[in-house]
Amino acid sequence: MAVIRIERVIEIVAPPRQVWSVMIDVVRWPEWTGSVSSVELLDQSPKLMVGSRVRIRQPRLAPAVWKVTEIEPERCFEWRSVLPGLTSIGEHRIEPVGADRARVTLSIEWSGLLAPVINLLYGSLSRRYVETEAEGLKRRSEGGKTGRR
């Protein structure tokens, strides 16, 4: 089975707790990244937790429903979107680098029979989106008002 991973690591000059508060507030992502048009929580809780379902709309992509599979507060969260022949895993990880810096790893991983096809059709776009999200997260966390392009 094919597994394809796109990853971006970025250092952010902000306390890890501040980076986490921006990253975990997924409904506000469209304010700071041009890679996301809208985010809608599909469950009753206003807070993201394991089992939460989220509908994400991105430019040039079909809307996708993601289910949170892991959360370690102030460290990471992971969500999955599963379709026949394709599992997508989005990972958002923060490592403290002292009290006022954070190293963030953002990734998307595709697995399943359709992973090579999805990579061929959407790999370049997805790499740009991961980069756009990383840069927007950095700007917002470091005090910038917006990261939209």
Task: State pLDDT tens for residues 91-145.
Answer: 999 999 988 999 999 999 999 999 999 999 999 999 999 999 999 999 999 996 5
CA 144 to chain centre: 19
pTM: 0.92
**Scanning the structure block, which residue is given the tokens 């958002």?**
92
| DSSP assignment of 71-121 | EETTTEEEEEEEETTEEEEEEEEEEE-SSS-EEEEEEEEEESTTHHHHHHH
Task: State pLDDT tens for residues 25-67.
Answer: 999 999 999 999 999 999 988 889 999 999 999 999 999 999 9
The per-residue pLDDT for 144 is: 62
DSSP state for residue 141 in the 8-state scheme: H
The residue among 84 and 149 whose pLDDT is bigger is: 84
**What is the mean predicted confidence (pLDDT) over 81-93?**
97
What's the CA gap between 120 and 43, in Å, rounded?
33
For the chain, domains (ranges, CATH) are 3-141 (3.30.530.20)
